[in-house]
Chain A
Amino acid sequence: MNRSMMWRGLLILAVVLGSAIRLYPPKEEIKLGLDLQGGMHLVLRVNTEDALRAEADKDMERLRQEAQSQGVPGVVVRRVADAAFEASGVAVDKEATIAKIVADQLPGWDWQRRGEQLAFTMTPQNEREIRDLSVNQALQTIRNRIDEFGVAEPLIQRQGLNSDRIVVQLPGIDDPERVKGLIKNTAFLELRLVDHPREGGGAESREAILAHYGGSLPDNVEILTGERRDRAGRTTGVQYYAVEKRQVVTGRDLKTARQGLGQFNEPIVNFTLTAEGGRIFGDATGANVGRGLAIVLDGKVQSAPRINERINDRGQIEGGFTAQEAEDLATVLRSGALPAGITYLEERTVGPSLGQDSIRKGINAGAVAAMLTVLSMFAVYKRTGFNAVAALLVNVIILFGGLAYFGATLTLPGIAGIVLTVGMAFDANVLVFERIREELRAGRTVKSAVEAGYTKALSSILDSNITTLIAALFLFQFGTGPVRGFAVTLSIGIGATLFAGVFFSRWLFDVMLARTRVERLSI
């Protein structure tokens, strides 16, 4: 055996063994796509305009208060767009004060006078930063919430560098509605004092509350609704509350939240506050014993119990929850409120039974295809068919090994791609063998016919495989999910076919011909 043969043989051995070892155990090494193992794929959009609006509201309120304290009373601010507001009531000679306030405290705003009003717009840079920040915060919050689920290998990522979209992939999820609810829950918690009914509880109707105030609400109060529940926790109707707009503490002041059992053994959520939050809360409750404290979640009053004594740092949220709802709420509170709303743009959930079914069928089809191909090889090329079959075997091993090595995901179209590769793996061999036949007919010796066959067929093989590779490339570029998996499988398949069908196959021939002097080739 000459040296080239030996080195080539070693290389082949290394590649094949390497692939085989990398493959073992197959169930764990090959990553299955969501369409095969079941799971959920979500693309959601962070409504960054919410964050812009919140920031605008905050800044414009600050401007008003600062202006007031610096001698420009009576400034009226009004938001006109997501990132723009107007201030009126500022005389021209007071503009300098405003300018100073903006320079010191509101660096993210540009402004100019438009007749009676001062028009404020957010700088593009500030806007970009706020959007970016809100997406990153949402990303982190969602990660925290999903962590609690204990999903193996979740994928939670921003879709692209500057995008406001987040991709979430959760394999093995069997309760998609719950997950969606969990992610989407803005969970904005506020504790506010109740103005009427003063001792807590709620009123029957909006009109009853308005009547109390003589027809119109004072500026610092708004009407919120909540559910009326009976002892067993079932909802029996709606209640109304007149609640102060001022927030005593919010979700940001939470130290932790945990589910627990209330006085009737119903599921509730216990929360504790941070040191700072606890102090504020203690002062507020201490000064307002006897009044109702509204626990407001996303703008709805969960309950409004009476403050019996000063509470320093803990509280309860009750709301007719089931055990799971209480658990989810605690999770959501712990993870923090979402900085902005979320819209689901795309959602795909595949149950595991569908995936298992598909895998079974795909494997069946693959096995049959392989068998048919092998039979054809023997039928057409007689004993040289062995060469092609061996090449096919090597091809498949390298293909799967490659999938495992690159961490590629096997999807349902990917399985079809493998079946196709099995059918087409034959092609490289056919091109070569046909050439060999021709050369033999033209009178060459066996050895030179084999050599000529491989040499001349190579350009065809390369050209045709490269064009398929081009298709796979664009599929990968423009495809998503399962289609990408297919493109990767196809590409790896081409590499495997080239190695097995050309390099390995040629080596096998060389080995065979080197042993004895072969007069005729069974081909």
Chain B
Amino acid sequence: MEFFRDTNVDFMKYRRFWIVVSLALVAVGVFMVFIHRRLNVGIDFTGGTQLILRFRERPDVDRLRSILEQAGVGEAQIQRLGADEEHEVIVRTPIQEGTEEGSAGRVLRALEAAYSAGAGSIDLNQRGVDALTAQLLAADPDGRRATEGEAAARAHYEQVAEAILAVRREHGLITSWDQLAGVEGVSAQTVSWLGQDTRLGGFAVLSSENVGPQVGAELRRKGLMAVAWSLVGMLIYIWIRFELRFGVGAIMATVHDVLVTLGLFTLAGFEFNLTTIAAFLTLIGYSVNDTVVVFDRVRENLRKRPGEDMIAVMNKSINQTLSRTILTGGTTILACAALIILGGEVLRGFAFILTVGVIVGTYSSIYVASPFTLLWEQIFGARRRRRSAGAPTSPAKPAARAGGAAQAPPSRPSRGGRRAAR
């Protein structure tokens, strides 16, 4: 199977139209993010507390909200997470004035009172191995203390506790006593003691994060710097390896990609956090990558025939690299699609950015990078053209120069010339 053998599409023909389209997309993206203010910024940057909880039964978001309000944690954002049968909820509270430490404790206590109260010394869905071991040792349902002594009994109960809590680790929380019945290493007496003396709380904490205001501000700063410096770094690298005009084109394409993807990302409502910044930086890497491949070909073609019209060279280079662009773009999109579909909640935002970014990046390498480079060339490249048109180099050149000179005028900006050339 071979795609695009010797295509000769004139990509640059409607380049001004495409520049306008691209700018429009960017404008929409910027509008979404900054003016419409729908960007869902995570606690990494705003500070605050975020808890992911799993309930035994389907949680009622409104009830949760009222419980938290009564506990004094008024502005909690509560959302269901993931598949319905997983009973997962994400609770987000903003920074409490004057404290660094967040409201996780208050939220958990309030929820415990409402969902996990009851008789029983410890909540198997909340406490850890050490606590359970201590309780088991004190109660000694297997009678080990008498027969084997303190130390051996403790070791035994530690294993039992591990086995019991492994069930919780596997499923996130223990929903019924039956789940403990068949566990290896746990005797029937132990299970019945558990049923009598401990309780199964109504929820378990899958993850808990708290970011104080200081750290939030720092992460914001670092995130921005990472993106800004990356762009600068790449611009410099391309400037060194190619020329400034290419660098400009590449950076315009990259900025375009970031802003458009950001706009779509905002529309989709994903959370914007540190991992998202990592995704954007990868996107920037890929976009520049893609653009560089085209420009590399342009550079090669320019070396072969120096005086040739830039527009023709651009077109030729894009056509030559089209096969590669589509293929690599295609496989990358397939990989990212696999991530979106199979990768789970936590990675979904990341995968979305990469998928959208690859599509937009491929588009921009053709319709943003090259046109902008041409634009830059038209506005600032006068000196270069004068130099290459007038400078005597090798015997082979005059022929090319004659051809080049004949073709050069159409690419210079002039109101009348444009109509005549294209």
Contacts and interface: CB of A to CB of B under 8 A. Distances in A.
Interface of A: 38, 43, 45, 173-178, 322-324, 327, 343-354, 356-358, 361-362, 364-366, 368-369, 372-373, 376, 379-380, 382, 412-413, 415-417, 419-420, 422-424, 426-427, 430-431, 434, 437-438, 441, 456, 459-460, 463-468, 470-475, 477-480, 482-483, 486-487, 490
30 contacts: A174-B169, A178-B131, A322-B134, A347-B104, A347-B208, A353-B168, A353-B206, A354-B52, A356-B169, A361-B343, A365-B339, A369-B335, A373-B334, A376-B330, A380-B2, A413-B350, A416-B354, A423-B331, A430-B324, A431-B293, A434-B327, A460-B292, A464-B289, A464-B292, A468-B282, A470-B237, A478-B226, A479-B278, A482-B278, A487-B278
Given A353-B172, A356-B169, A477-B226, A419 B338 contact: yes
Given A45-B100, A175-B130, A471-B281, 15 more contacts: A176-B208, A343-B100, A346-B211, A353-B168, A361-B342, A365-B339, A368-B342, A376-B330, A416-B343, A416-B347, A416-B354, A426-B332, A431-B293, A482-B274, A483-B277
Contact of A437 (B2, B171, B209, B335): B2
A463 B292 contact: yes
Interface stretch (B177-185, B217-225, B383-391, B394-402): B217-225
B281 A474 contact: yes
A373 B328 CA distance: 10
Contacts of A487: 278
Nearest to B137: A323
B344 A357 contact: yes
Interface in B226-256: 226, 229-230, 233-234, 237-238, 241
Q: Which applies to chain A's interface (DSSP): helix, strand, loop or mixed?
A: helix
A175 B324 contact: no
B127 interface: yes
B25 to A, nearest CB: 23
Contact of B288 (A358, A467, A473): A467
B210 A346 contact: yes
Given A365-B343, A475-B278, A420 B354 contact: yes
Interface of B: 1-3, 5, 52, 100-102, 104-105, 127-131, 134, 138, 165, 168-172, 204-212, 214-215, 219, 222-223, 225-226, 229-230, 233-234, 237-238, 241, 274-275, 277-279, 281-282, 284-286, 288-290, 292-293, 296-297, 300, 320-321, 323-324, 327-328, 330-336, 338-339, 341-344, 346-347, 350-351, 354
Nearest to B204: A351
A356 B342 CA distance: 14
Contacts of A322: 134
A43 B230 CA distance: 27
A174 B24 CA distance: 50
Closest 6 CB pairs of A and B: A423-B335, A175-B128, A361-B344, A468-B285, A478-B226, A369-B335
B334 A369 contact: yes
Given A380-B1, A426-B331, A471 B293 contact: no
Given A416-B343, A423-B331, A426-B328, A471 B131 contact: no
A373 B335 contact: yes
A323 B138 contact: yes
Nearest to A487: B278
B215 A353 contact: no
B165 to A, nearest CB: 7
A174 B285 contact: no
Contacts of B327: 376, 380, 426, 430, 434
Contacts of B328: 424, 426-427, 430
Nearest to A351: B206
Given A460-B292, A468-B285, A424 B332 contact: yes
A422 B341 CA distance: 17
B208 A468 contact: no
A49 to B, nearest CB: 14
A475 B129 contact: no
Contacts of B212: 343-346
